Amino acid sequence: MHRRPGARRRTAMAVLVALFCATMALAAQEAPAPPDRAAVVMAARAVMQKARYCSLVTLGAEGQLQARVVDPFAPDEAMTVWIGTNPVTRKVAEVRNDPRATLICADAAEQAYVTLLGTARVVTDPAEKAMHWKSEWSGFYKDTHRGDDYVLLRFEPRRLEVVSPAHTLLNDPITWRPVSIDLLAPGAQAAGAPTPASAAAPSSAEQFVRGIYTDVSASGGTLPDWNRVRDYFVKEAVVVLRTGRDQTTVFSLEGFLKDFADFYERPMKLGDEMIAPKTRGFTERVVRSRAWEYGDMAHVLVLYEAEIAGWNRPPQQGVDSWLLVRRDGRWRIAAATNEIVTAARPVPAELR
């Protein structure tokens, strides 16, 4: 049946108007409630435990990403994941050279997966090895967890991504992005969710302090964002560092930042080679922390490890003491002191 041109134009216009009205009606609908953080983390743990085997991705010596299947332990309350392996494997060498890593766990039956993005480090502590051991691995190692042929990788994620239809956690229908969470900001909502006024609640002082160790770390060829680091502190902050066997130095905030920036540029001798943390990469990792909060003040003790990537020495342990105040609903560092762990000055009982 033929229609006059005017009738066709009116029909097309009617369709466009209908589509516009339908789009406006959808836009006017109330935005869905953001996923609950605790529920997202719980769902991620469930997916990982059901999947059991995961893929660990690291950066290979030739600059190519390397992936392999691993049998990790279930994530702990901070989503830290432990992986047992042999020290001669490529992944151990690659983590020592560049700690950045990604862990992916998939449950095909449920069409669910979890991706963790963060850093890994090699752990040889006998107590940790004994705690993280599976009896079914006995055939792969000469003296179970006690031998030198068994080490651990401690994977500490910064971000979590998850898709799990069983937990109603689905990809964004337009961008296909999964539900994601910044694990270093406990008060943060899942990415992409609307932000109500109540989302401004501050994180704990302990988690706030943990973030600075990630932010002063950098992979080879890059530097920390010093403005981001500066934002952790009040401008009047005082930092006292161990700078010699019998010497400590008091820094202003700007002096502390300059000293840290100079450290990244400072050449050091590695065998016959002169290297700098800027070229090889530098990592500070929290091993253990203890916190006390009272009103708008807090004290956080941290046992940490510091390491230059590829350095043929064990990580240097130290203890930091952080004093914080809460201003405008957010924690800020007012003062910090630092001490280095030695044989004569072991880790304090509070952090063992």
Q: What are the pLDDT digits (tens) for 79-122?
A: 899 999 999 999 999 998 888 999 999 999 999 999 999 999 99
User: Cβ contacts of residue 243 below 8 Å, gap of 6+?
Assistant: 249
- How far from chain centre, in Å, is Cα 74? 17
Q: What is the DSSP string of 241-253?
A: EEEETTEEEEEEH
Q: Which of 54-63, 272-281, 288-297, 336-345 has the lowest mean pLDDT?
A: 272-281
Residue-level pLDDT at 241: 95
pLDDT of residue 271 exceeding 80? no
Q: What is the mean pLDDT of the chain?
A: 84
Q: Which residues of 11-39 are buried (b: 16+ CB within 10 A; e: fewer)?
A: eeeeeeeeeeeeeeeeeeeeeeebbebee
Q: Which pLDDT score, from 0 to 100, does residue 165 have?
A: 92
| pLDDT more than 70, % of the chain | 85
**Cβ proximity of 188 and 182 under 8 Å:** yes
pLDDT tier at 19, thresholds 50, 70, 90? very low
Torsion of CA 230, 284, 238, 255, to 10 degrees: -70
Q: pLDDT value at position 34?
A: 59
Q: Of 279, 350, 268, which Cα lies nearest the Cα of 316?
A: 268
Evaluate if residue 14 carries a pLDDT over 90.
no
Residue 253 pLDDT more than 50? yes
Does 196 score more than 80 pLDDT? no
Rounded to an integer, what distance in angstroms lies between the CA atom of residue 5 and that of residue 348?
87
Q: Residue 78 — pLDDT band, cuts 50, 70, 90?
A: confident
pLDDT attached to residue 267: 87
| pLDDT given for residue 199 in this prediction | 33
Contact yes or no for 279/297 (Cβ under 8 A):
no
Residue 45 CB contacts under 8 Å (≥ 6 apart), including other chains: 74, 75, 79
- Please choose, from the candidates 76, 183, 128, the residue with its C-alpha nearest in 3D space to the C-alpha of residue 352: 128
Stronger pLDDT, 275 or 166, i.e. the higher one: 166
Confidence category of residue 13, pLDDT binned at 50, 70, 90:
very low
| 19 token code pair | 């589509």
What pLDDT, on a 0 to 100 scale, did the predictor assign at position 172? 85
pLDDT tier for residue 187 given thresholds of 50, 70 and 90: low
pLDDT at 254 over 80: yes
d(CA 341, CA 352): 12
* Contacts for 292 with CB less than 8 Å, ≥ 6 apart: 298, 299, 300
**Collapsing DSSP states into helix, strand and coil, what is residue 221?**
coil
pLDDT of res. 17: 40
Q: Which two tokens stand for residue 245?
A: 């066997």
pLDDT of residue 255: 94
Q: What is the pLDDT of residue 174?
A: 85
- Do β-strands 233-244 and 330-340 pair in parallel, antiparallel, or remain unpaired? parallel
pLDDT of residue 35: 73
For the full predicted model, state whether its pTM sits above 0.85. Answer: no
* Per-residue pLDDT at 200: 35
Any alpha helices (H) in 105-200, and if so which ranges? 126-131
10 pLDDT more than 50: no
Rounded CA gap, 288 and 206, in Å? 11
Domains of the chain and CATH, by start: 37-198 (2.30.110.10), 202-351 (3.10.450.50)
Decide if pLDDT at 27 tops 80. no
3-state secondary structure of 165: helix
pLDDT at 341: 94
Sign, CA torsion 37/155/81/102:
positive
Q: Considering only residues 20 and 129, tell me which one the structure prediction assigns the higher pLDDT.
A: 129
Q: Is the pLDDT of residue 201 over 60?
A: no
